[in-house]
């Protein structure tokens, strides 16, 4: 479900959301992301839609604030990984 780029992104940046590492290998990362029901979206617009569907209050937030939320990981290829901590 999660490709190599997504797993690498999470492994390298997981401490932006968690105080300590939760995964050391791609396999552990994949298991963790599956347990968290993490999602990969294809655009900034889809990040907004995800937060809206989840009922997250985004009033007054701009694109930069949404993309710098601890739950949002920039995969680097236009996609974003969203992990509920």
pTM for this entry: 0.92
Written in H, E and C, the secondary structure of 5-50 is HHHHHHHHHHHHCCCCCCCCCHHHHHHHHHHHCCEEECCHHHHHHH
Structure tokens at 51: 């937060």
End-to-end CA distance of the chain: 19
User: What is the full per-residue pLDDT of the chain (85 aa) written as tens digits?
Assistant: 899 999 999 999 999 999 999 999 999 999 999 999 999 999 999 999 999 899 888 788 888 888 999 999 999 999 999 998 6
Question: What pLDDT does residue 8 have?
Answer: 98
What was the pLDDT predicted at 16?
96
């Amino acid at each position: 479900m999660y490709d190599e780029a997504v797993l690498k992104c999470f492994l390298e940046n997981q401490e932006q959301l968690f105080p300590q590492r939760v995964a050391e290998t791609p396999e552990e990362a994949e298991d963790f992301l599956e347990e968290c029901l993490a999602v990969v979206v294809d655009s900034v617009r889809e990040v907004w839609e995800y937060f809206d569907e989840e009922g997250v209050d985004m009033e007054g937030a701009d694109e930069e604030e949404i993309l710098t939320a601890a739950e949002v990981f920039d995969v680097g290829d236009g996609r974003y990984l969203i992990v509920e901590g």
